[in-house]
Chain A
Amino acid sequence: MIVVVSFLVLLMLVAAVAASVFRDLISAVIAAALVSLIASILFYLLQAPDVAMAEAAIGAALTAAIFIIAIRRTKRYEE
């Protein structure tokens, strides 16, 4: 059990560092959505099903969608 949790936390931190390093903004947004998804799994393992449902619906889906719509109206590559 502890092995699974530490693997998930490690993957979450690697995805957060990747969101900081990528120059293509759409890849950075997808890395941030992966952080939200793994946080939703950790919320479920901490016995909080309401919060897990809210984070999965709002953080992983709607946040990524409005980011991609806003990036499409401005530049795509960080200079």
Chain B
Amino acid sequence: MRRAVAILLLIIVALGISISLEKIPFGTLKTKVGKYYINEGREETGAVNIVTAVVVNYRGFDTLGEVTVLFIAAIGLGAVLRAGVGEGTKKTESASLVLYTGCRLLFPLILVFGTYIFIHGHLTPGGGFQGGAIIASGFLLIYLGCRERRISRTASNLAESLGGMVFVLIGLLGLVFGSYFLLNFLPKGTANTLFSAGIIPIIYVAIGFKVGSELASIIDNLIEESQ
């Protein structure tokens, strides 16, 4: 009965979607604001990657909202899982020598790769979110491979808080220097160099630290079993 109603609902939704697909032709330019950002983006912001310029400079307030949502999810997960009663420690065996040494060798290389991606966010494809996810994958390797070395909890909390505070402080400095929140007040520099595009590299470094330590703390709260 429930399955028949669900399939009927899905057929109605599919019919409605296929009727409205005629109005969306595939492969034509549909908005004017996209054309404006591509034409004027390089002179106004100094960044070469237009997607980074849109995420940090033209739509910077939405990125602040997204960082807040990620923060609330991490806090909520920590609060829900801390109040529960654990099942007691399961007896785990320590990892073999090859796995342990391999994890310890790979971990700094993964950190360097993630840092490279979020520093060059305004020049090549990449940015804060991608680099932060790669750093969190490095921490996942440590939690799975060698459990005896723990990442200290105060250091990850400190990195997360500092990243968020730097973002909001730079926005408030925009209010001090010019007219609006998140104004691009540093000099633009020459394009295609590392120190260019105003405040965009600084914000992406802060976002990279924050997202990386937040995802690592989410995995830490999920793995931690007892007490």
A contacts B directly in the complex (CB < 8 Å)? yes
Are A58 and B126 within 8 A (Cβ)?
no
Q: How far is the CA of A9 from the CA of B134 in the complex (A)?
A: 27
Measured between beta carbons, the chain B residues less than 8 angstroms from A50 are 49, 51-52, 125-127, 130
Flag the segment in B33-41, B192-200, B216-224 that touches A: B216-224
A54–B215 CA distance with the chains assembled, in angstroms: 14
Cβ distance A56 to chain B, nearest Cβ, rounded Å = 9
Are A54 and B218 in touch, CB under 8 angstroms?
no
Any A CB within 8 A of the CB of B166: no
Interface size on B, residues (CB 8 A): 21
In-complex Cβ contact of A57 among B51, B130, B218, B222 (8 A) = B130
**A66 contacts which chain B residues (CB < 8 A)?**
218-219, 222
Contacting A at CB under 8 A, from B163-207, are none
Closest to A59 in B: B133
A10 part of interface (Cβ distance < 8 Å) = no
CB distance from A25 to the nearest CB of B (A): 16
- The number of residues on chain A lying at the interface, defined by a beta carbon within 8 Å of a beta carbon of chain B, is 13
Question: Which of B52, B87, B140, B222 is A70 in contact with, Cβ under 8 Å?
Answer: B222
Contact call B137/A57, Cβ cutoff below 8 A: yes
Q: Does B129 contact A (CB under 8 A)?
A: yes
By beta carbon, the residue of chain B nearest A58 is B133
CA distance A43 to B32 in the complex (A): 23
Add 5 more A-B contacts to A50-B51, A58-B129, A62-B133 (CB < 8 A): A50-B126, A53-B126, A54-B129, A66-B218, A73-B222
Task: List residues of B whose CB falls within 8 A of some A CB.
Answer: 49, 51-52, 87, 117, 125-127, 129-130, 133-134, 136-137, 140, 215, 218-219, 222-223, 225
